[in-house]
Each structure stands twice: as C-alpha cells, then as structure tokens.
Amino acid sequence: MREIIFDTETTGLDPKTGDRLVEIGCIEMVNRVSTGATFHAYFNPDRDMPAAAEAVHGLSITFLSDKPRFHERAADLLEFLGDSMLVAHNAGFDFGFLNTELEICGLEPVSRTRMIDTVALARVRHPGAKLSLDALCTRYGIDRSHRTRHGALLDAELLAQVYVELTGGRQIGLELAADAADGLVHAATTLAQRERTFRPARPHAASEAELAAHAAFLETVKSPLWND
C-alpha cells in the first residue's frame, strides 16, 4: 500500500482570504515504510509574507521571489502524489491550501476521501492528550532537536515516523498489527471526514409545572439552611 505523508507552509491560515501555499514536502511510504522517495518545492506566492508567518517557517519574499509559481510544478506534484492516500497533520488545513492552488490552476481538487488526518488518528489513540506534532514526537521518543523552525519536508519526515507509531509502531510487519492499524486509520479517517450538522440550542429553562413542583417541595423542608 502506497501512501504519501505531506506537509505545507503558507502565508497565513486561510486560503479563502488570499493566503497562498509557499512550500510543500512529501514522503513516499509503502506498507508504512519510507522508500526514500520525496517531492519538495518552494513557490513564489506573488504576494507579501506576513511577519507572523515568516516567524514560523522563516521563508521571506526575498527568498521566494525567484522560486517557481505553483502552476509550474503542479504536474510534477500530481504525478508524485498519484492516486495514493495522503497523510497530513490537521489534514483539512493542508488539503484546503493544496486544493485552492489546484483550483487556481484550473485543475481538479484532490478528493478528501484520500485524506488521512493524523490528528484524528491521535485523538482515537490518545484521547485527552496533546495532539501537536511536537507533543507526539515527545510521546514516541522521536528526535526533533534539529527542528528549529517549521519546514514542510522536515515536518513530513517527522510526521512519517509519528504515523508509523500511531498505526502499529515497529510491529507493522505483523499481520495482526497491520489489521489493527488499518482499522484505526479507517476509524480516524471516518471521524475526520464526518460532516458536522448544525443543531440549534435546546431550551433548558424549567417549565411552569416544574417551578411549581419545586416550590411545593421547598415548603416541605424544615429549617432550611438558606434561611439562616
């Protein structure tokens, strides 16, 4: 089974407000073992770089100014991705930027049925625990001392190790562990893709009958403390 672990860096948090993708890093895994094949690219976003974003990943407009635009590398990226499942941490964010860039190019977006979200996996595996990539690296003893800033390929490499641990650890060669891992991925993928339905708030005020019954009950209480 071929899977692509990937991460992105951007100019901000929301592609709908004009933020753009500036870096993508992809790691190829087969049967949850890294093959060594990667895809990595920087992109000129044709806009400014907010200081807050640059502080996170260190990518300045000066550095990105001579890099290709996304549409110039889109075909290479799609060829590398193929039809494989795509694994990302908080995957909805990365898919949002990737698909926005593809749509700008006039290309079909990547189906979210191919999305595996490691945040959802971690939530199933470690309910109530911290779910950041740093926290999961610490939990699994994955060395990230060389990570001084966010970087798409570096973060994808760390995430690949986290993904192995989340889906069976070093026992992935065992059939039972592999079956359990696939079940966990299916459960978490379903959780990540589930549509959220808006439900209006339910009324919580007591009815007139309930208020009357409560008042009658209070009349039966002898020497209540609240009267002292």
Residue pair 39/77 in contact by the 8 Å Cβ criterion: yes
Catalytic residue among 150, 186, 204, 214: 150
Q: How many other C-beta atoms are found inside a 10 Å radius of the C-beta of residue 85?
A: 17
CB contact at 8 A, 152 and 25: yes
Please list, residue by residue across 133-145, b when 16 or more beta carbons sit within 10 angstroms of its beta carbon and e when fewer do: beebbebeebeee
Angle at which helix 70-81 crosses helix 91-104, to 10 degrees, equals 120
E strands along 105-165, which residues?
A: 115-117
For residue 44, the number of C-alpha atoms closer than 13 Å in the C-beta half-sphere is 10
Could you confirm whether 150 is annotated as catalytic? Answer: yes
Instruction: Please identify which residue in the block is written with the tokens 């002898």.
Output: 222
C-alpha distances in Å from residue 94, one per residue of 22, 35, 84, 99, 152: 12, 22, 16, 9, 11
| Active site residue ranges | 150
